[in-house]
Every structure is written in structure tokens, then in C-alpha cells.
Chains A and B, each alone.
Chain A
Amino acid sequence: MEIFVLVKQVPDPEAMIKVKSDSELDIENRYFTNFFDEIAIEAAIRMKEKFGGKVTVLTVDNHRVDALRRGISMGADEAIQITDPLLEEANPFAISRAIASYLKDKPFDLILAGRQAMDDDAGIVGPAVAELLEIPHVNAIVSLEIDPQKKEALVRREVEEGKEIIACSLPALFTCQKGLCSPRIPQVLNVMKAMKAQIKKLDIKSLGLNPNEILGLKDIIKIKNYISPPKRPPVKMIKEDFPENVKILVKLLREEAKVI
């Protein structure tokens, strides 16, 4: 099986992030491999262990390749970095175009990605890449079985009413949700090996992409400015003794907040 995994290094959820100016953020230098992408890497490695083949991790990032190294340390065979000044601050549509133009003539059976990246929380790249490659996709899967002979996958995806069971022809792209599998902790030896692993770099030109197409996609949607989140009013602590405090709470919810 030929499997590609789309990965990204993102700020840790605990990292301090503040608005510096309208167009600039102050992001604490605490990054990790996107939580859902690690699940995707793990799922890919398990498929390789079961059916043989190759796992390639791929990122679009001008600054960080740690997610690729994480993938290699977990057992991926190859790593690709798409990097180009044109892709700086690109929206998910431009990024999807770059990824799809790399993948379009590759012989893949399966593409996996995280449900969403924990930076812009958009969840666009996975389904958008599938659209550009004209292959089916399923979002937020929590189970994955493959029948290589029939070239078919059986997946479950989380929906509001429960878990939907879907049979999907391959090649396909799936985005991975928590619950699909637990990512392994790589062995120290593999982490060291990954530090030295070769990363193949590609730019817009070597992908055969027209820069104007990327610029056009970048224009579709842009960030006008950043703003700080609205401040919540200070907490009202109810200091009366039990059970008086419970009575007061109910009164406040009814008469002040008017939510019950």
C-alpha cells in the first residue's frame, strides 16, 4: 500500500498566543505535531505493518519540519516538504492546490490527514485535496479497515446521531478523529535516526504550478486583522453556605442570566 500522510507542526494548545498588532501575532515558541496528524501517522503505519508498502509524510511549511521528523521517528519511510515564499501566509485553498499538484501523478492507495490543525482550526485541507485529486473522502473517521483486494475501505465517522458506517472505494482520503488509534511513542533510537533523515524539498516551480494560480487562491479569503477575544465579565462567587448557595445560584440563573 502506498500511503501519504498530510502533517503540520502547530503551536501547543498551552502556548501563549497574543495579538501584537492588527496583522501580527505573538506566538510562544512551543510547537508540537498536530494532535490529529499524529493519529493519522499512526493509522498509516499500522496499515503498512499489516499490508506492506510505504508511508510518506508531507508538509507545507516554510519554517518547521518537526512534524516530518516525528512521522519518520514513528515509522514513515519518506518525508516531503513543500516550501516556497509564495506559500507564506497562504490560506488552506492555496495549500491544498500545492499538495494536490504534488500528489496528482503519484501512485497512492490512501491519503490520511488530521481532522483539523490546531492553529486555524479550519479542517479544509483534507477534503479540498480530495476534491482536487477527484477522489472520495470521509471526514473525521474513528475506525478504518482496508480490503486491499477489493480496493475498498470500511470506515466509521462520527455524526450527531452516532457513528455512520461507510464503504468507500480506494484510492481515497480520510481525515482522522480522536478514537481511531493511539499514536505510539517513538523509540529514542528512531528519534535520533529521524533527526538525520533526508527531507525532500519542493517549491512551486518544481511542482509545475503557475504562481498566478496560487496568488489567485490566496486572494479568495484573507485575514483582514486579528483581534483579542472578548473578555468575560469577572466571576461572581457565591460565598453563602450550603444549601443557601444552591438557592442563590438558581435565583441568579433565572433572574439575572435568564437562561432557565
Chain B
Amino acid sequence: MENEIWVFAEEYDGKVRRVAFELLSASAKFSKKIGAKVSSILLGNKLSEAIKSLTPFSDKIYVLDDPILSPYTSEAFILNLSNLIKKHRPYLLLGGVSSTTKDLFPRLAMNLKTSYAPECTSVEISEDGELLVRRPIFGGKVFSELKFSEARPIMITIRNHTFSVDESLNKSAEIFSIEALKDSTISRKKVIGIEKVKGERVDISEAEIVVAAGRGIKGPENFKIIEELADVLNASVGTTRAVVDEGWRDQRDQIGKSGKNISAKLYMAFGISGAVHHTLGIGTCKTIVAVDIDPNALIFNYADYGIVGDLFKIVPALKDELRKVVSSG
């Protein structure tokens, strides 16, 4: 019997990121098979809202609420997490895929001399309690199944939307407030500020729906129609390397090998030919729609639904059609 499954409940501005609830929901299922408690690990400052949101999803919440933990720095987080983990040695430490976990988890794993499997697309516990973890390598051309030593915790990050949120959970977590540690390493780094992106859209790696256009959009000004479609769906807007290299869109919106992996429920690609570079970044999207003028475009090999046609006609018509449906509930 394993003791605890820990979920790193990453927060921003006091609000817990959605992926934490996905991981807590999955952990609730795992815990039934191995008899472990499910704990949220929450580090930050001014966390009362965050605690409230995690309570129905967790058996325990370990809270470290201190100004030195906001904004995130690897120094303050590793000092505190490493100390907490060594005290409890949980079975698993799960996290979402984010800029914070990409910065934190590898270093924490090295600190603890424990395993870390990044950006997994599948985590299961079999009926006899065996942990099955799968992650894409070579951009998803191959998957590897992993074997772990006895070192604890086994650290895993999991792509957004791999699990769904179980809204029926109604636990009432026990809360453990822990005083944050400080040491001299913390002064090595100082977060001076953040240049925020304009607009309200969530990052493409977190978005449930992503609509994207490639070079077929013909110019940066034409992204307006893609933006309007995104507004109707409450989607985020992605693009290809070619478009970014042309300087038409910011690199943060780039999907693919040198950009971001997305794992949206719905991905719509307009005027995207489907170069390997791009398709490697969309492998874990659930439903893919492709619209391109070229019937031989490679993107159709990866899509669930395809239309050969002119995006300048289809996108506005699709927006109007969707508006009817979405507004009618």
C-alpha cells in the first residue's frame, strides 16, 4: 500500500490552474486501487481562494503561504518542496506541463535523486497496482513506456486535458499549513516584473480549443478572421513556424517542434500544409479539423474532418454557423 499521491497545484494570481483539478480527479481514481490519500501541494501567497477551490478535490492540502513563494522562483520552491518531500516521501508527485514545472521539476528531481518523466500523455494504475506511464519521444514518432526504481516520489508531468475534471468529487480536505523556509540561495534571483501579453486568451498549450492559420492566410492582417472565429469559440489562436519566421505572429503562438505542443479537445487548422514540424505538435489533440485549398496537403493525414476549399470563404461562414449553434446552447 502506497501512502500518498501528491498533486502540485500550480497557481497564478491566487487561482489554481485547471490542470491541477484534472490531475486530482485522476488521482482520486488511482487512490482507490492503491489505497493512497490524495494531497494537493500549494505554494504561493494569499491562497485562501486557491485552498477553497482545492478542498472538494483533495484528502489533504499542504499549504505554504508566504510572499517569498510568489512569484515563483526555483530557489524558494526547491528549498521548500525538497524539505516537505523528504519528510513525507509520497509515492507520486504529479504536475501539469507549464513554464513553472519545466523550470522546477527537473531540478527538484535531481535534488531528490528521484525519477521524473516529463510531458506524459498517459498515466494509469493497473488493477494489481502497477504504474503505467507513457510519453512521446522524437516529437511523438515513438512512445516510450517507463520503468522506475524504488526512489520516491516518482515525479510525472502530464499534458493538459489528458484527464477530465470530476465535478462530482466532494471531499473535505484536511489543511496543513506549513511555514516557509528561507535561505541565502533565494537572493540569487529576483523577478523584476512581467511583460503581459495583450488580450484575454489563454496560452495555446492550456486552451481547450485552438484555431490556427498557416501561410495560406497570406498576410498578418488576415488573422482578423481567425481571431473572430476564436472569439465565437472562446478559443486561442495558434500558428506555424513559417508564419512566425515571416514575422506575422508572435512566437508564443507557434505550434510544433520548435514551438509548443498543444493537446486541445478541438484543433482547427486553416491553410496549414501539415509539415512534420507542425504535426508533431498536435498529436495529442482529440479532434482535428483541417481546411486547405490543396487536396494533397499532408495535414489531411492527421485530421479527423477535412474540407478542401478556400479558407477566406470557409472561416467567416463557419463563424456565422457556429455563432448560431453556440448561442442556442
List chain A positions with a Cβ less than 8 A from chain B.
Answer: 11, 13-14, 17-19, 25, 35-36, 92-93, 96, 118-128, 130-132, 136-140, 142, 154, 156-169, 172, 178-179, 217, 219-229, 232-233, 235-238, 242-243, 245-247, 249-250, 252-254, 257, 259-260
Contact A223 B144 (CB under 8 A): yes
CA separation between A165 and B138, bound complex, in Å?
Answer: 31
Smallest beta-carbon distance B274→chain A, Å: 11
Name the A residues within 8 Å of B251 (CB-CB): 142, 178-179
Instruction: Among A96, A138, A160, A254, find the residue whose CB has the most chain B CB atoms closer than 10 A.
Output: A160
Interface residues of B in 66-100 (CB under 8 A from A): 71, 74-75, 78, 98-100
Task: Say yes or no for B257: interface residue by CB 8 A criterion.
Answer: yes
Contact A237 B304 (CB under 8 A): no
| Contacts A35-B257, A119-B138, A131-B110 supplied; 16 other A-B pairs, CB < 8 Å | A14-B277, A35-B258, A128-B110, A154-B192, A160-B205, A167-B190, A179-B251, A220-B115, A226-B143, A227-B134, A227-B144, A229-B140, A235-B301, A249-B289, A250-B318, A260-B209
Decide yes or no: A120 and B306 within 8 Å by CB, A14-B276, A161-B194 being known contacts.
no
Q: Which of B148, B194, B280, B305 contacts A163 (CB 8 A)?
A: B194
Decide yes or no: A253 and B142 within 8 Å by CB, A121-B137, A221-B115, A223-B147 being known contacts.
no
Instruction: Among A154, A249, A250, find the residue whose CB has the most chain B CB atoms closer than 10 A.
Output: A249
Contact B321 A246 (CB under 8 A): yes
Contact B304 A235 (CB under 8 A): yes
Task: Say yes or no for B215: interface residue by CB 8 A criterion.
Answer: no
Which residue in chain B gives the minimum CB-CB distance to A219?
Answer: B149
Contact B188 A169 (CB under 8 A): yes
Name the B residues within 8 Å of A13 (CB-CB): 139, 257, 276-277, 280
Contact A162 B107 (CB under 8 A): no
7 A-B Cβ contacts within 8 A?
A131-B111, A156-B195, A157-B103, A160-B12, A160-B206, A237-B306, A257-B266
Chain B 302-319 interface mask (CB, 8 Å, partner A; 1/0): 111111110001100110
Smallest beta-carbon distance B59→chain A, Å: 27
Name the B residues within 8 Å of A96 (CB-CB): 110
Name the B residues within 8 Å of A128 (CB-CB): 106-107, 109-110
Contact A253 B287 (CB under 8 A): yes
Decide yes or no: A163 and B119 within 8 Å by CB, A136-B75, A226-B142 being known contacts.
no
Chain B 104-145 interface mask (CB, 8 Å, partner A; 1/0): 001101110111111100000000000000101111111111
Contact B317 A242 (CB under 8 A): yes
Contact B325 A260 (CB under 8 A): yes
Q: Which of A137, A168, A217, A221 contacts B147 (CB 8 A)?
A: A221
Instruction: Among A127, A131, A164, find the residue whose CB has the most chain B CB atoms closer than 10 A.
Output: A127
Contact B194 A229 (CB under 8 A): no
Instruction: Among B141, B149, B195, B196, find the residue whose CB has the most chain A CB atoms closer than 10 A.
Output: B141
Task: Say yes or no for B191: interface residue by CB 8 A criterion.
Answer: yes
Name the B residues within 8 Å of A260 (CB-CB): 209, 233, 266, 322, 325-326
CA separation between A124 and B190, bound complex, in Å?
Answer: 23
Task: Say yes or no for B171: interface residue by CB 8 A criterion.
Answer: no
Smallest beta-carbon distance A158→chain B, Å: 6
CA separation between A159 and B325, bound complex, in Å?
Answer: 34
